[in-house]
């Protein structure tokens, strides 16, 4: 729902993604404009099971507070867990002190403090692990692994339909490259990895603790990912073909999405 970085484009919002797993809906980051994207994509405002915030830079969380209020206006009653860095507690306290008096549901902040991958959420459909990234502030990635139901005695094999394994998706927000990351996302069917800059801006990427197209592609290759999804495009760049061409030269199964694109994880 958002593929831009710090500055919105006329046709691109900052970071936000909606992930659907067997009817369960999760929001990953919530940059400015996310509410409008939710409405444009005809997603129910109260359907999100949980929200995962990678870090507390504005382009990843400025859209959250209006969304929380809108959920109340739609009479949400189910409690909402927000997984976010520890510093989010003070932000949530401020929001609730000014705007939470009439909120129709409870919000629970689950602080992220881990130094290596750690399971933070599990239900019958998915297990989620968080892991630290290499950014200027505390920043975390997320790995979603599908949980398949145990085979039933009533299960009847369908001819021609092979049994598949569980699917997986990893979200690697703002980060400079670091050696452990490919191992933490190893074997995922789809990997979202920020690629703020083309390779010619490698100095900027290093300065701001971000990744280039080539950094993202090398991570996907080392991880053995099935597909690489780029994003977090810099406002300095107008030619988005460069992102795709540079990444595909290293990792062929790369896509450079637009806002509103939908992918089936296979």
- The helix (run of H) or strand (run of E) holding residue 90 is helix 88-99
The pLDDT of residue 155 is 54
Whole-prediction pTM value?
A: 0.93
Residue 112 has pLDDT above 70, yes or no: yes
The pLDDT of residue 238 is 78
The pLDDT of residue 265 is 94
Mark whether 188 and 108 lie in a shared domain. no
Q: In what order do the strands lie in the sheet with 118-122?
A: 118-122, 126-132, 140-146, 168-172, 190-193, 227-229, 254-255
Q: How confident is the model at residue 149 (pLDDT cuts 50, 70, 90)?
A: confident
Could you give the CA distance from residue 30 to residue 190 in angstroms, rounded to a whole number?
A: 20
Could you give the CA distance from residue 17 to residue 136 in angstroms, rounded to a whole number?
A: 22
| Structure confidence by residue, pLDDT tens digits, 14-33 | 999 999 999 899 999 999 99
Share of the chain above pLDDT 90, in %: 85
Measured at the CA of 89, the angle between CA 48 and CA 73, to 5 degrees, comes to 40
| Structure confidence by residue, pLDDT tens digits, 117-143 | 999 999 999 999 999 999 999 999 999
59 is catalytic: yes
Mark whether 201 and 109 lie in a shared domain. no
Residue 154 has pLDDT above 70, yes or no: no
Provide the 8-state DSSP code for 60. Answer: G
Mark whether 204 and 139 lie in a shared domain. no
Residue 66 has pLDDT above 50, yes or no: yes
| Catalytic site residue from 29, 59, 138, 215 | 59
Could you give the CA distance from residue 156 to residue 164 in angstroms, rounded to a whole number?
A: 15
Environment class of residue 56 by beta-carbon count within 10 Å: exposed (0-12), middle (13-18) or buried (19+)? middle
Q: Is residue 228 situated within a structural domain?
A: yes
Q: Is residue 133 situated within a structural domain?
A: yes
The pLDDT of residue 161 is 47
Q: Is residue 158 situated within a structural domain?
A: no
Mark whether 142 and 21 lie in a shared domain. yes
Q: Give the chain's domain count.
A: 2
Domain containing 17 equals 1-146
Q: How far is CA 256 from CA 14, 117, 159, 223, 259, in A?
A: 15, 27, 36, 19, 10
Q: Is residue 237 situated within a structural domain?
A: yes
Mark whether 42 and 110 lie in a shared domain. yes
Among 130, 146, 162, the domain boundary falls at 146
Mark whether 111 and 192 lie in a shared domain. no
Q: Is residue 212 situated within a structural domain?
A: yes
Among 146, 165, 186, the domain boundary falls at 146
| Structure confidence by residue, pLDDT tens digits, 182-240 | 999 999 999 999 999 999 999 999 999 999 999 999 999 999 999 999 999 998 887 88
The pLDDT of residue 235 is 87
Mark whether 49 and 115 lie in a shared domain. yes
Q: How confident is the model at residue 150 (pLDDT cuts 50, 70, 90)?
A: confident
In CATH, what number is assigned to the domain containing residue 133?
3.60.15.10
Mark whether 4 and 89 lie in a shared domain. yes
Q: Which has the higher per-residue pLDDT, 161 or 189?
A: 189
Mark whether 189 and 60 lie in a shared domain. no
Q: Is residue 7 situated within a structural domain?
A: yes
The pLDDT of residue 159 is 53
Residue 241 has pLDDT above 50, yes or no: yes
Mark whether 184 and 134 lie in a shared domain. no
Could you give the CA distance from residue 224 to residue 204 in angstroms, rounded to a whole number?
A: 27
The pLDDT of residue 11 is 84
Among 146, 162, 197, the domain boundary falls at 146
Mark whether 190 and 245 lie in a shared domain. yes
Q: Is residue 207 situated within a structural domain?
A: yes
Mark whether 1 and 74 lie in a shared domain. yes
Q: Is residue 136 situated within a structural domain?
A: yes
């Amino acid at each position: 729902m958002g593929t831009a970085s710090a500055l919105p484009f006329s046709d691109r919002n900052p970071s936000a993604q909606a992930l659907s797993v067997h009817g369960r809906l999760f929001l990953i980051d919530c940059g400015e404009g996310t509410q409008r994207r939710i409405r444009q994509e005809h997603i129910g405002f109260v359907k999100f099971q949980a929200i995962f915030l990678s870090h507390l830079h504005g382009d990843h969380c400025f859209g959250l507070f209006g969304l929380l209020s809108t959920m109340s206006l739609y009479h949400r009653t189910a409690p909402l867990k927000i997984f976010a860095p520890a510093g989010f507690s003070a932000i949530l306290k401020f929001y609730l002190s000014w705007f939470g008096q009439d909120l129709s549901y409870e919000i629970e902040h689950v602080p992220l403090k881990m130094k290596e991958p750690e399971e933070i959420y599990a239900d019958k459909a998915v297990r989620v692990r968080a892991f630290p990234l290499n950014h200027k502030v505390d920043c975390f990635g997320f790995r979603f692994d599908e949980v398949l139901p145990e085979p039933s005695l009533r299960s009847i094999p369908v001819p021609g339909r092979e049994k598949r394994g569980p699917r997986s998706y990893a979200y690697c927000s703002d980060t400079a490259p670091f050696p452990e990351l490919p191992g933490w996302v190893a074997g995922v069917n789809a990997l979202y990895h920020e690629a703020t800059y083309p390779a010619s801006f490698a100095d900027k990427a290093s300065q701001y603790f971000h990744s280039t197209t080539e950094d993202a592609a090398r991570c996907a290759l080392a991880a053995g990912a099935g597909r690489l999804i780029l994003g977090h495009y810099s406002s300095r760049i107008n030619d988005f073909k460069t992102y795709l061409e540079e990444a595909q030269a290293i990792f062929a199964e790369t896509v450079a999405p637009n806002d509103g694109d939908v992918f089936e994880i296979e």
